[in-house]
Structure formats: C-alpha cells, structure tokens
Amino acid sequence: MISASTASQREIQRLGPWFHNLHLPNGLQTAPDHALGDFPATKWQKVQSCIPEQLSGVSVLDIGCNAGFYSFELARRGATVLAIDTDPLYLKQARWAARELGLTASVCFEQASVYQLARSSQCFDLVLFMGVFYHLRHPLLALDIIASKVRRWLVFQTLTAPGMEVSQTPADLPLLAREPLAEPGWPRMAFIEHSLAGDPTNWWALNHAGALAVLRSSGLRVAAQPGHEIYVCEPDAAKDAVSAQLVERELKEIFGS
C-alpha cells in the first residue's frame, strides 16, 4: 500500500516544475532545491510585517498567484482571497496545494489575465502585484487597471535595473533640453528585446526612480519599501490630476466606459 506521504510526493512530481516552494503539513516541500533558496518564503519575510496580522473581513486579490504561496499566507491571517493567473499548470498546483493545506474555503483560484480585471467592477482591500509587471508587454496599462481596484494597499514587486538614484523631475522639460533624460536618477524602464535569465517574457526592467514614478503616475503613494524591488503602496488622495485624467481617458478608449 502506498503511504499518504509517497502519494503526495508523486503528486508534487506530477504537477512540477514548481516556482513556489510550499511547505506542506506532511513535511514535504514542493521545490526544496529552488535556485533562489526557500522561495518565496524569504521574500515574504520582508513583506509580512507591513501587512496586518489579522485580516478577517479583508478581501485580497493576488495577481499572478503562481502556486499560491502569498494567497495561502494571507488566507492564514483570515483574508478572503481571489487569486488569478494565466498559466493552467500553476493553477493546478495551487488548487492541489489548497486542498493539502486545508485552505480551499478562503482562497479561490481563477484563470484570468490582469488585463481582464478592467472588465470587473470589484475592488479589493489588498492587492498583490508581485513578479508580474515586467512579464507584461503593456505593464503600465496593467498598473493603471490595478490601481483602480485597490481600496487600501497594493504590494508591488518587480524586476529592476541597477541604480538607486532618484532625480527630482521637473514639471516640464524644454523640447531642446532633454539631457536630464539620460541622468542616472531619471525614471527609466529598460526594454529587453530578446531574453533575460533565459526568459523571453522578461520584457522590462524599471530603475528604482522609474518604479516610484510609475506608481505615482498611476495614483499610488509608496508607504513602505520593505526590501529591494518591493513597494507597499496606498491610493493617493492627492494624486496628480492631469495624469489621472489622461489615464481615465485611455482606459475608456481601450475598454469603453
């Protein structure tokens, strides 16, 4: 007779490869030899203190949830989680893991793209947008859509380009004096035409100034930076009115009212 643990190990292998190393109640892990160590537990260590310990009654949207590591952590704190991803294999992993972890009642996994959120009127107290921005061809479109779904907090994590300088950008720049655009602290997004780390879906790398600027421009205020490339944001009541109007107009042009 096959033991429960052997059956679980077989299922882990059958559902692989795993990007999230989930620790299961039976002691097994889904990706114990992950190249980034105990991933994403090490990243969660940095983020978790920025999020309330008690999340009963709090709604969460986890965009690009993968095998559900963050969704499960937030569900354990009492949140109700909608977790979306485009990849059916990751969703299979996540649904199986939810059963193993006994969290099926508080996390709902759906196959959907971030862009589809534009068609929904639902908002969430807490939105996670971690490790997805740079995989998108149209990342600012996604960020603008997401910003309209955030009631209280957005946790944003992205691949960045080196450089922590931040220039004070002027309200306007003369047409024939564009030198500041080449300064290290100018908000910048490097386009990766071919591939990065063997992954052709790594399209963009923001520098730190760029991350701050695109978040601001989407109407978000950075409240904390708990780690490298991680930004905890809140909707900014004092957001730039011109950007807000332009964003609204563009979203209407693309998706209708």
Ligand X SMILES: C[S@@+](CC[C@H](N)C(=O)[O-])C[C@H]1O[C@@H](n2cnc3c(N)ncnc32)[C@H](O)[C@@H]1O
- Name the residues that contact ligand X, by CB under 6 A: 19, 40, 63-64, 66, 84-87, 90, 113-114, 130-132, 135-136
Distance CA 35, CA 195 (A): 19
Closest to ligand X by CB, 87 or 100: 87
Distance CA 145, CA 149 (A): 7
Closest to ligand X by CB, 130 or 232: 130
The reply to whether omega before 40 is within 30° of 0 (cis) is yes
Closest to ligand X by CB, 131 or 210: 131
Closest to ligand X by CB, 19 or 109: 19
126 SS3 class: strand
Q: What is the 3-state secondary structure (H, E, C) of 210-255?
A: HHHHHHHHCCEEEEEEEECCEEEEEECCCCCHHHHHHHHHHHHHHH
Closest to ligand X by CB, 129 or 186: 129
Whole-Å CA distances, 122 to 57, 125, 149: 15, 10, 7
